[in-house]
Structure 1
Amino acid sequence: MADTIQNPESKGPAGGWGSLKSIARIYRDNHPPASALHTLLRQNKPGGVMCVSCAWPKPANYHPFEFCENGAKATISDLTSARCTPDFWNDHAVGELREWKDYDLEQTGRLTHPMRYDANADRYVEVTWDEAFEGIGNVLKSLPRESVVFYASGHAGLEASYLYALLARAYGNNNLPQSSNMCHETTSVGLTKVIGSPVGTVTWDDLEQADAFFFFGQNPGSNSPRFLHPLQDAKNRGSRIVTFNPVVEQGLVSFVNPQNPVDMLTGHETKISDEYLQVQSGGDIAAILGLCKVVIEADDAAIARTDKRVLDVDFITKHTKGFDRFIELVRATPWSEIERESGLAESALRRAGEIYVTSERVIAVYGMGLTQHVQGSLNIGMLVNLLLLRGNIGRAGAGCCPVRGHSNVQGQRTVGIAEKTELVPLDKLRQLFDFDPPTQDGTTIVDAVKGLMNGRIKATISLGGNLLRAVPDQMEMERVWAGQDLTVLISTKLNRSHLFPGKHAYILPCLSRLEEDVQASGVQAVTSEDSFSHISGSIGKRRPASPHLKSELAIISGIAMATLDPNPKLRWQEWTADYRLVRDLIEYTYPDDFKDYNARMFEPGGFYRGNDARSRIWNTPEKKAVFTTPSQLNALSFADAEGRYRLVTLRSNDQFNTTIYGYSDRFRGIEGTRDVVLMSETDMRAEGLEEGQVVTLVSDFGDGVRRALAGLAVRMHNLPRGTIGTYYPEANVLNAIDHFDELSKTPASKAIPVTIET
């Protein structure tokens, strides 16, 4: 139960004074202008600015302070008073900066001028925008079209994203991998396979009607803290919450609402999880199968008593396929196998299953704890199985709820940033712009990394992000990244990806979404899509960090005009002058999703672009929702062995994706460092390790390549035996590029096989 789960490392509940103190520390360190407070008050509200951090939805009935700790940190960080000007490079060579920590690079502040790498001086030097565009265009025109990658981080708005995808296709390829390749591509592929939709099926109204929430591998306390408000409301109305996670995440244990004066003054905590099951890493398939077994047994008992069926038989008959085969496996799998593979006791799974059986409307919430596995797609299929048994997809208060990361990561896919041509209406592009878009599928992140390693990829354009730090096999990537003919990074701040420049390398500094974007037709707005498929507009109000910054859209247009052959239908200057014209293009290209786009973009809560699966229209080949019969009971590609551990990569409370805001992970009791490995007391004893002992983690992938992360202090932590943890992105050096989900090629970062060297 929630009141017995052990999280002795935490310094208190999620939210509360700890959250406010953490925000105050970031404010003090960054010295933003006083106007930053005004920006926070406008955040996630109609006519305001959408958070630059996560993609959690914006409620139509918003709070006075509609931002969370993580969103506040991202906003304050963007509005820092620190500046990384051309003078910075007078004192710092690129090679020297490779020894700096991610946090130290972040603290140099906002980039102010376009820069070109000078190999002779090992420094970046200032250039004009025209010089940068001309230099980039000249290199791109000389390269084989299939050798260039156009990567997007998930931050840029829908308008810039649409034009970025158009640029790539007009250039001649579909090499448009995106940050979802590294986190939720398993969702896009896995959900499409079983329900015909690449995104979740719930909306905000469903949260307010659910009787129970089942969480799998998701951490709202650090990754989407605004989620804690509807969870608190759910608990207050009697809903129950069950959590499956190897790590005890404080946001799913208890929460003090910072917007509730009584809670803040009294310290009143809302207990979140009614049951918290510490499934071993990779054990979710078995755990969910156990829940399904409880449902089937309860249905058998109801039949024997001639009571109402537990299974939604009408729904299963009308809307699903594959039920009989799946149920045969459920009945045939003994509890002993389920316990062994999940690491959970039958009694614990029965308690959780009973909550599912007795709840009329259930929402299943998940994050990268399910998607980043070799069998991540099986994880998704099993979770959908559980929902289908009782008709918990396509009705109010129920559904599937993947929680996406970056603010527009889902929306970028919606408007064409996709390497799979089947996802893009190429005929519409041909009609609109009078060119023949390439029809060959492009490259995923995994394939792009392999292409860099074998020399096939010769240039990378990065629309935001810190790609070099985010991918697996990081040490090898640093070597091959610098061997490219061209690297272009559209960025707001310095990061490690800038420190391994190609033969021609440019840093193009862009506006933040929070800053005023003025073009020829006046102040511009941009839009983004949240995790619930709602589209919302943003208008930045802050003065740009430098008069030399350009918007992401203007930078894309500048590269396009310097690279592509003239085409009167590609009106880059007009589109840069007025973003409404780009929204008209998006509406024409995707009319079902973006009807009356310009008129609706500031609707409270955003306008909903729809989801057929929510209406029980299944766009699968079978035209039904599909039960998945798993081929194995764990999500791993390796067997357990003496001394082999399943490494889970973790985010600190003081970071967002690869951005490190500080060294305080208060929910895990870790201060002043990120160089730790978390282990259970039992595993420490088995290895003969002591608290604070420094060790090296070594990859046990089995391909003959030595991958190691040294200098980690052992910290005792409440984890299942055989599961250990350390921080992302530092742990990426341990993950092999060939260790990925079999269906989506999402890197399997939540169960990396490692051993420990003392």
Structure 2
Amino acid sequence: MTKQRSDEPEVKPFKGPAGGWGSVRSLADILPREHLGPEAYRELARQNKPDGFMCVSCAWPKPADHHPAEFCEEGAKATAWELTRLRTTPEFFAEHTLAELRGWKDYDLEQHGRLTHPMRYDPGTDKYVAVSWDEAFDEIGRELKRLDPKSVVFYSSGRTSLEASYMYGLMARMFGNQNLPDSSNMCHESTSVGLKAALGVPVGTTQLKDFKETDAIFFFGQNVGSNAPRMLHDLRDCRKRGVEIVTFNPLKERGLERFTDPQNPVEMATLKETAISTQYHQLRAGSDIAAIIGICKFLIDWDDLAKADDDLPVLDHDFIAQHTKGFDEFAAAIRKTEWADIERETGLAREELEASARIYAKAKAVMAIYGMGITQHVKGVESVRMIVNLLLLRGNVGKPGAGPTPVRGHSNVQGQRTVGITEKTELVPVEKLEAQYGFKAPREKGLDTVETCRGVIDGSVRAVVGLGGNFLRAVPETGAMEEAWPRLDVSVQIATKLNRNHLFAGRVTYLLPCLGRIEQDVQASGPQAVSTEDSTSCIHGSRGKAKPASPYLLSEPAIVAGIAKRILDDNPKVDWDGWVADYSTIRDAIEDTYPAIFKDYNKRLFTPGGVWKGNKASERIWETPSKRAEFLTPGEISATGFKDADGRYRLITLRSNDQFNTTIYGYHDRFRGIKGTRDVLLMHETDIAAAGLAEGQIVALESDAGDGVQRRRDGMIVTPYDIPRGCLGAYYPEANVLIPVEHHAEKSHVPAAKSVPVRIRP
């Protein structure tokens, strides 16, 4: 393997649009780098098609009326990454100790290629050695059964299929716990908590068809160009018919500025671009609550004046009276909020918020699209609910073209929750599971991600089984977590490639390689299909056809079954082997558990456009305690959870367009013009001068959490960037070392990675 150099940084503003020839050149770079053959190009043609496979990166829907190439730059990178011909074999592990590999960069670890054999850690040599699957399952079973079930955690990545997720959640509950943290805990749990409290559903209310009926879109804290690029086609179509798109985001992100459709020959030939945002407001990190308060303040004031003048109302009073609770208290609080406080917190002028309010006021149907720039704050749940407050003022929930649209990250992170991957008893039909499978399910709330981190650090968690992902790299408090991980009794990691989590071994440690979603999965009944749920609550079939990377790989369902049979007593009501032999029987079981959602599951599996699981709030049926949509009166105007102070900055952790979650595809963040390094510290040029720093200077960041714990990230390159004053930008996951485990959303425990208190040190 040739390591990609990361020691010659270059920062040069990128002038092109999202999409366009830049995307084409990026693909031309990565496809040969993975040594791909003709099969990879055939698979790309099947990506996100009705009878093809669901993209393994983001959760944007695969539409019924698909494009000829229904993949984006990021999705193609994910496909190339999975289908690579590069391999990480037992011979590789024989040559390298884990101590040595801990000196490698994230990119180099994963870029070495697909794992080929099940491996066991040998503490005597500090190396992984190959073992048989039966040896692995037998020892894993023996070791886990020795432990208190409450001390074992079953983590899962958001790309795991519905079928494997259902089996995994059932296995954990039959073992005796609900310690089922997943990617949602790290990213969108604030949505699940906030929308559930406000509307009675834990997910967004819109579908793809709503893009065709909306009048205005308000965007908050989501980088579409890097995190869900296929949405750009929907946004482009909206702009072509005159839809206003108002964006609130601390950084100017190219996908929200302009887009050239790579599948449009005219646009590619003429370099024609579509302007996406009609207004772009660069507010300070964590100030979305204040910005929305400002918009609401204008709307309520205008409505008060209209009432006094006997004019047409600005707000939808009929909807508010019939469908909501808490408006009067909310409106009173908004009226009392001072403009000086709003402007100071947001960094925006009153006139800018007025311009946004005017667009909102004249629109008949408004969609609110948001991402982790909303959810990953101490007041993340309140931020979500402020978006709902704004929508409720004019009845923009439960009608065509309107509603909250959270953009989920990983490809099935929403679906996992649907089939039982959750630590919360109230989200799972435990009585139904008990009747189906004849066991007593735990009622005690399980551990989420933050609680798992606490448990690993304090020693109460004794084992972690990871179904995909890179948990140790994705979580906060990196230093303490890496120090504590080797004290685990058992660490089992199910993966397709080597990552940093695998380099920290517990007393007994296994690395188990699995099939990827794009690969053909042949079981006793023949080739299998799996399913996932997208961001809009549509469920899709996914069929892999590529040749597996190794004959020694097992599927995720087969691995889950292999572990389950070793840690659980025989149960005639659970046929683990039968499920693995024929995945349609798993889907039958899922339908039995969730009949309202999965009716005729197998029959409808490959319905073009997916099968929508339904959403009561979209019908204006509010499953809240009050049976109404509920306004939340904000207690604070900042979501950061800490006060501003001299020398204290708000750090925003960022993803490059050359990565997906913790997977690094390369060192070229094209849209931000950063190449050859990930060690940049993005700062406003005025802040650089005020701090007595210079462009290119090497500095360190230190946590300013005030808890007495030293957290430091060295080797940061001061880089001038268009970012609000008082804010800094640095790449995730490298910056996670600066995030205290207790710096999280108060009501959802999502790590508050979008506003971290830090100071700059020499």
Identify whether the pair has TM-score above 0.5, normalized to the shorter chain. yes
Q: Report deviation, 1:41.
A: 0.7
SS at match of 1:649: strand
How far apart are residue 304 of structure 1 and its match? 4.2
Give the structure 2 partner of residue 351 of structure 1.
355
1:361 aligns with 2:365: yes
Amino acid paired to 1:133? F
The root-mean-square deviation of aligned C-alpha atoms, in Å, is 0.9
Cα-to-partner distance string for 1:385-422 (whole Å, 9 max, x where unaligned): 00000000000000000000000000000000000011
Q: Is 1:635 aligned to residue 633 of structure 2?
A: no
8 Å CA contact 1:10–1:250 kept in 2: the answer is: no
Matched residue, 1:258: 262
Contact 1:9 1:717 in 2 (8 A): no
User: Is 1:546 matched up with 2:554?
Assistant: no
Question: Match of 2:90, SS?
Answer: coil
Aligned to 2:455: 451
For residues 552 and 237 of structure 2, what CA distance do their matches in structure 1 show?
46
Q: Does the aligned pair in 1 maintain the 2:50–2:62 contact within 8 Å?
A: no
Matches within 5 A, 1:223-238: 223-238=227-242
- How do 1:580-591 residues align onto structure 2 when only pairs under 5 Å count? 580-591=584-595
What's the CA shift for 1:523?
Answer: 0.5
Q: 3-state DSSP class of the match of 2:155?
A: strand
For the 8 Å contact 2:89–2:115, the answer to whether it is kept is yes
Q: CA deviation at 1:305?
A: 4.5
Give the Cα separation in 2 of the matches to 1:354 and 1:720: 24
Task: Give the length in aligned residue pairs.
Answer: 752
Aligned partners of 2:15, 2:38: CA distance in 1, in Å? 30
1:691 aligns to 2:695 (yes or no): yes
Say whether the 8 Å CA contact 2:369–2:406 is kept in structure 1: yes
The answer as to whether partners of 1:648 and 1:752 remain within 8 angstroms in 2 is: yes
In structure 2, stretches of 5+ residues that fail to align are 1-10
Instruction: Check whether the contact 1:113–1:126 (CA below 8 A) recurs between aligned residues.
Output: yes
- For residue 60 of structure 1, the aligned residue among 59, 64, 88 is 64
Partners of 2:383 and 2:362 lie apart in 1 by 23
**1:608 aligned partner, one-letter code:** W
Return the match for 1:615 from 603, 611, 619: 619
Q: Distance in 2 between matches of 1:262 and 1:528?
A: 35
2:335 matched residue in structure 1: 331
Q: What is the CA–CA distance in structure 2 between the aligned matches of 1:306 and 1:204, rounded to whole Å?
A: 39
Match of 1:50 in 2: 54
Could you tell me how far apart the structure 1 residues matched to 2:152 and 2:526 are?
Answer: 34
Q: Displacement of 1:302 after TM fit?
A: 3.1
Contact 2:205 2:536 in 1 (8 A): yes
Structure 2: how far apart are the matches of 1:33 and 1:456?
48
| Residue of structure 1 aligned with 2:583, choices 571, 579, 582 | 579
CA deviations on 1:291-322 (whole Å, 9 max, x unpaired) are 10121123234334433321111100000000
Counterparts in 2 of 1:479-490, with a 5 A limit? Answer: 479-490=483-494
The residue aligned with 1:32 is 36
Is 1:154 equivalent to 2:172 in the alignment?
no
Paired residue type of 2:497 = K
Q: What secondary structure is seen at the aligned counterpart in 2 of 1:451?
A: helix
How much does 1:180 deviate?
0.6
Is the CA contact 2:53–2:541 (under 8 Å) kept in the aligned structure 1?
yes
Aligned partners of 1:285 and 1:247: how far apart in 2?
A: 17
SS of equivalent to 2:539? strand
The answer to whether the 8 A contact 1:220-1:228 is kept is yes
Cα separation, 1, equivalents of 2:306 and 2:79: 53
Distance across 2 between alignment mates of 1:578 and 1:400: 37
Distance (Å, rounded) in 2 between the aligned partners of 1:753 and 1:250:
27
Query: What's the TM-score once normalised by structure 1's chain length?
Result: 0.98
Question: For 1:595-614, what aligned pairs fall within 5 Å after superposition?
Answer: 595-614=599-618
Q: 2:280 aligns with which of 276, 281, 284?
A: 276
- Once the two structures are TM-superposed, the CA of residue 254 in structure 1 deviates from its matched residue by 0.5
Structure 1, unaligned runs of 5 or more: 1-6
What one-letter code is carried by the residue in structure 2 that aligns with 1:242? V
2:204 to 200, 203, 227: 200
Residues 48-447 of structure 1 correspond to what in structure 2 (within 5 A)?
Answer: 48-447=52-451
Q: CA deviation at 1:708?
A: 0.3
Give distance in 2, aligned partners of 1:596 and 1:560: 27
Distance in 2, Cα, partners of 1:84 & 1:446: 32
**CA deviation profile, 1:352-390 (whole Å, cap 9, x unmatched):** 111111111100000000000000011011110000000
Q: Distance in 2 between matches of 1:9 and 1:617?
A: 48
What secondary structure is seen at the aligned counterpart in 1 of 2:598?
coil
Give the Cα separation in 1 of the matches to 2:592 and 2:309: 57
The offset of 1:592, in angstroms, is: 0.9
> Is residue 94–residue 129 contact of structure 2 (8 Å, CA) maintained in 1?
no
- Aligned residue for 1:482, secondary structure, equals helix
Secondary structure of the corresponding residue to residue 757 of structure 2:
strand
Residue 636 of structure 1 and its aligned partner are, at CA, apart by 1.8
For 1:340, give the aligned amino acid: R
Question: Post-superposition shift, 1:8?
Answer: 8.4
Quote the residue 2:6 is aligned against. none
Query: Which residue is 1:557 aligned to?
Result: 561
Distance 2:99 2:170 in 1: 35
Runs of 4+ in 1 over 4 A off after TM superposition: none
1:528 equivalenced with 2:532 (yes/no): yes
1:748 to 713, 727, 752: 752
SS of equivalent residue, structure 1 residue 640: coil
Q: How far does the alpha carbon of each residue in 1:574-611 deviate from its partner, in whole angstroms, 9 at most, with x for none?
A: 00000011101111101111111000110011000001
SS in structure 2 of the partner of residue 170 of structure 1: helix
Deviation at 1:32, TM superposition (A): 1.6
Letter in 1 for 2:543: I
- Give the whole-Å Cα distance in 2 for the aligned partners of 1:62 and 1:661: 26
User: Matches of 1:24 and 1:462 in 2, distance apart?
Assistant: 33
Partner residue in 2 for 1:505: 509
Post-superposition offset of 1:34: 1.2
- Shift in Å, 1:112: 0.3
CA deviation digits over 1:269-298, x for unaligned, max 9?
A: 100111100010111111000110121123
Structure 2 residue aligned with 1:3: none
Query: Alignment partner of 1:230: what SS?
Result: helix
Q: CA shift at 1:531, angstroms?
A: 0.3
Q: Deviations over 1:223-250 (max 9, x none)?
A: 0000000000000001010000001111
Shift of 1:118: 0.3
Residues 212 and 241, structure 1, Cα contact 8 Å, conserved in 2 = yes
User: Is the CA contact (8 Å cut-off) linking 1:460 and 1:486 kept in structure 2?
Assistant: yes
2:7 aligns with: none
CA contact (8 A) 1:11 1:666 kept: no
Q: Select which of 681, 684, 688 maps to 1:677.
A: 681
Question: 1:516 aligned to 2:550?
Answer: no
Amino acid at match of 2:538: H
Give distance in 2, aligned partners of 1:371 and 1:456: 28
Letter in 2 for 1:436: K
